Amino acid sequence: MSDELKPCPFCGGNSIKVDQWATWYCRCENCGSEQISTTKEGAITAWNTRAQGPGPGEAVARDAAFIIEQASLSMTGQTSRLNAIIAAAERILAATPTREG
């Protein structure tokens, strides 16, 4: 059993903490993603074998879509400001590569 940890499948971070607090866990110090188990080895295995999360481009695309949605909900009556925010988020979305499935 190797204690070597793969990078975070969600953000790509390499700062992964393995510790015990009521249960064993591996947690990405960058994005907070974690896997838990009753044993240290189980937590490491769970961390290293789970499905790959979205790539960084997909995370940015998700965030841009969220910005558009939230701006639309919270800025009723502020059309020019809302349009500027939506346009900026759409430019980010258009320029962000995503992983081909």
Instruction: Quote the pLDDT of residue 101.
Output: 42
Of 54, 13, 44, residue with least CA distance to 30: 13
Of 54, 6, 16, 14, residue with least CA distance to 24: 16
Contacts of 84 (CB under 8 A, 6+ apart): none
Domains in the chain: boundaries: 1-53, 56-95
Distance, CA of 34 to CA of 32 (rounded, Å): 6
Longest CA–CA separation in the chain, Å: 59
With a cut of 50, say whether residue 95 has pLDDT above it: yes
Instruction: Quote the pLDDT of residue 24.
Output: 93
Model pTM score: 0.50
The pair of structure tokens assigned to 90 is 């759409």
